[in-house]
Structure 1
């Protein structure tokens, strides 16, 4: 699994890390039980703080996609559906696009509700 970040993008680095892992899960590149790179190792390879990597991993944990265990690292949760990872990634892209054009949260939700009603 290849994780890349672009410090010139407006998206926080932790969000970029989480998005890369989500895509890897959605694409089947990493499956249930698969181990993610260690936080220290990944931080060193990306030239970012370990706290940045951990923040990205914590997002994924909060979304129910990975498990974090002290001493055992991060692994993809059994039952973490690839479809859910793909939807979370798409939702993140939608939110970023909405922010880019100046939509607030309520306007974005109205658009999503309208699309879901079709």
Structure 2
């Protein structure tokens, strides 16, 4: 699995790490049961703080994409289909675009509701 971060990006580094995993799950490059790199090892290879990696892993755990187990590390779950991982990534991109445009939360939600109700 390839992890890339762009320190010049407005996207927090932990979110960039999480996005790398999401893309790998969505593309099928990472299979359920596969272990992710240890947070310390990944932090060293990317030149970031270990807590940055842990924030990214925690976000993925909250989304149900990975399990964090003491002694086993981060493991990709089998319960989330790749399509969901792909959708999560696209939703995050839409939210980032909306923030960049200065949209309020209610404005974005209105757009989503309109899209959901349009055939």
Q: What residue in structure 1 maps to residue 63 of structure 2? A: 63
Whether 1:81 and 2:81 are equivalent positions in the alignment is yes
The answer to whether the Cα contact below 8 Å between 2:64 and 2:79 also exists between their aligned partners in 1 is no
Q: What residue in structure 2 maps to residue 53 of structure 1? A: 53
SS at match of 1:32: coil
| Aligned-pair Cα RMSD in Å | 0.6
Aligned residues between the structures: 118
Structure 2 gap segments, 5+ residues each:
none
Q: TM-score, normalised by structure 2?
A: 0.97
Distance 2:112 2:34 in 1: 33
Q: Deviations over 1:41-70 (max 9, x none)?
A: 100000000000000000000001100011
Q: What residue in structure 2 maps to residue 96 of structure 1? A: 96
Structure 1 outlier segments of 4+, above 3 Å: none
